[in-house]
Amino acid sequence: MKRILVTGAVGQIGSELVPFLREKYGGGNVVAAGHRTEPGEELKNGGPFEFIDVLKPELLDSKIREHRIDTIYHMASILSKLAEQNPQLAYRVDFHGDYNVLEAARKNDVDQVMFPSSIAAFGPQSPRERTPNDAIQDPTTIYGISKVFGELMGHYYYHRYDVDVRSVRYPGIISWATEPVGGTTDYAVAIYYEAIRSGKYTCYLREDTMLPMMYMPDAIKSITQLAEAKIGKIHHHANYNVTAMSFTPKEIAAEIKKHIPEFEIEYKVDEARQAIADSWPMSLDDSAARKDWGWEPEYDLEGMTKDMLENLRKKLGKE
């Protein structure tokens, strides 16, 4: 049975990944780790929880040894918008944090490290439509640069030290369980919340801004499916494109209106976030993941919208 550490466990993906892993491997075998944010009851009571700063290597080492960790899901990160607001913090967390986790894995004989890369690893010179798995990477954000760093270091630690490092390049991730925290694609979460709360939403991106997206159940499915894939099937290790759908703010608003006819959207473009979005792919080619380890998403825009609105009505008491 695996002994798993999840850093960034209180974040958007981590907070839903941990319960999934505990259901699969047993609550006592999955250690959730946060930095400062107090965990919710599910994280705290469902299994062990530790406060771990990934910028403190000695603490990271000691907790890996204490809990006999053999697998790390390294989800701790400063997201795109927040990273641009504080690039110095992003550099420390997203570069040094990645390095510290990989070094801790090497020194403590951890078998496998899983981490999320991002479409932010691509840039203006990358093909924007059906961006291939292997393409020019020239990101213009500190967040994107950190993801390229993570991918390259993942490959290095696999080939140099035989640490089984694997990663998926996530598109925008959408979830009803947690509210947005500062990602460029977070409008696609906020729009559902505001559709339920007020029936209207002001979008910070242009109505025709096409970006690849994925619903949280598929995000969790992709990274855990890659973790379970046989090593002989893996050809990319730390940089697999995965995607589920691509849409614009105008298209997601139209889908919401099918359920909430009175919903209204307006646009007040944030030039900084728009520039980030315009440097990212509009769609991804994830044929490598589909071929190598059988990746296939379950949700499209229609199915995701129905599920999001049903769950948010319950969460927000608007049934």
Mean pLDDT calculated for residue range 209-228: 98
159: in domain: yes
Q: Burial-class residue 311 by CB neighbours within 10 Å (0-12, 13-18, 19+).
A: middle
Q: What is the chain's mean pLDDT, rounded?
A: 96
Between helices 187-197 and 249-259, what is the axis angle to 10°?
30
Same domain, 29 and 146: yes
- Alpha carbon distance 160, 285 (integer Å): 29
Residue ranges making up the domain that contains 167: 4-172+216-241
Q: What is the pLDDT of residue 181?
A: 73
pLDDT at 182 exceeding the cut of 80: no
Taken in order 77, 79, 80, 85, the sign of the CA dihedral is negative
Number of structural domains found in the chain: 2
Query: Which of the two residues, 170 and 36, has the higher pLDDT score?
Result: 170
pLDDT of residue 44: 83
Residue 273 belongs to domain with CATH number = 3.90.25
Q: How far is CA 190 from CA 177, 197, 204, in A?
A: 12, 10, 11
Residue 43: its pLDDT value, please?
87
Beta pairing, strands 172-174 & 49-51: unpaired
Q: Could you tell me if 18 and 220 are in contact, meaning their C-beta atoms sit under 8 angstroms apart?
A: no
pLDDT at position 109 over 80:
yes
**20-24, 125-129, 145-149, 175-179: least confident range:** 175-179
Quick check: is 292 in a domain? no
Which residue in the block uniquely carries the two structure tokens 């798995």? 133
pLDDT at 152: 98
Q: What is d(CA 150, CA 121) in angstroms, rounded to the nearest whole number?
A: 10
- Per-residue pLDDT, averaged over 90-99, amounts to 97
Quick check: 192 pLDDT over 80? yes
Rounded to an integer, the average pLDDT of 237-243 is: 96
C-alpha span between 45 and 197 (Å, rounded):
30
Q: How confident is the model at residue 155 (pLDDT cuts 50, 70, 90)?
A: very high
| Domain identity same for 113 and 198 | no
Whether residue 289 lies inside any domain: the answer is no
Task: Please indicate, yes or no, if residue 196 is contained in any of the structural domains.
Answer: yes
Tell me if 204 is assigned to some domain: yes
One-letter amino acid at 252 equals I
With beta carbons less than 8 A apart as the criterion, state whether 71 and 31 touch. no
Q: Based on the domain organization, do 83 and 196 belong to the same domain?
A: no
Cα separation, 46 vs 42, in Å, equals 5
Nearest to 201 by CA among 184, 189, 213: 189
User: What DSSP string describes 168-230?
Assistant: EEE-EEE-SSS---S-GGGHHHHHHHHHHHTSEEEESS-TT--EEEEEHHHHHHHHHHHHHS-
How much is the pLDDT for 279? 93
Q: What is the pLDDT of residue 75?
A: 97
- Is residue 204 located within the same domain as residue 222? no
Is 91 catalytic? The answer is no
Q: Give the domain CATH number at 121.
A: 3.40.50.720
Mean pLDDT, residues 172-186 taken together: 88
225 in the same domain as 253: no
| Burial group, residue 146, by CB count within 10 angstroms (0-12, 13-18, 19+) | buried
pTM of the model: 0.95
| Strands in 13-62 per DSSP E | 30-34, 49-51
Average pLDDT over every residue of 37-49? 88
What's the rounded mean pLDDT across residues 272-292? Answer: 96
CA-to-CA distance for 219 and 55, rounded, in angstroms?
A: 26
Residues 179 and 167 in one domain: no
Written as six digits, the tokens of 143 are 């967040």
Give the confidence band of 276 by pLDDT, cuts at 50, 70, 90.
very high
SS3 letters across 67-103: CCCCEEEECCCCCHHHHHHCHHHHHHHHHHHHHHHHH
Structure tokens at 152: 């390259």
Q: Is residue 122 part of a domain?
A: yes
pLDDT at res. 45: 87
d(CA 47, CA 41): 10
Residues 48 and 29 in one domain: yes
Does residue 220 lie in a domain region?
Answer: yes
pLDDT at 38: 86
Q: Choose, from 25, 73, 143, 192, the residue flagged as catalytic.
A: 143
- Report if residue 290 sits inside a domain: no
State whether 220 and 277 are in the same domain. Answer: no
Are residue 237 and residue 105 in the same domain, yes or no?
Answer: yes
pLDDT for 319 equals: 79
Burial of 314 (0-12, 13-18, 19+ CB in 10 A): exposed
Q: Are 94 and 229 found together in one domain?
A: yes
| Co-location of 225 and 102 in the same domain | yes
Give yes or no: residues 17 and 138 share one domain. yes
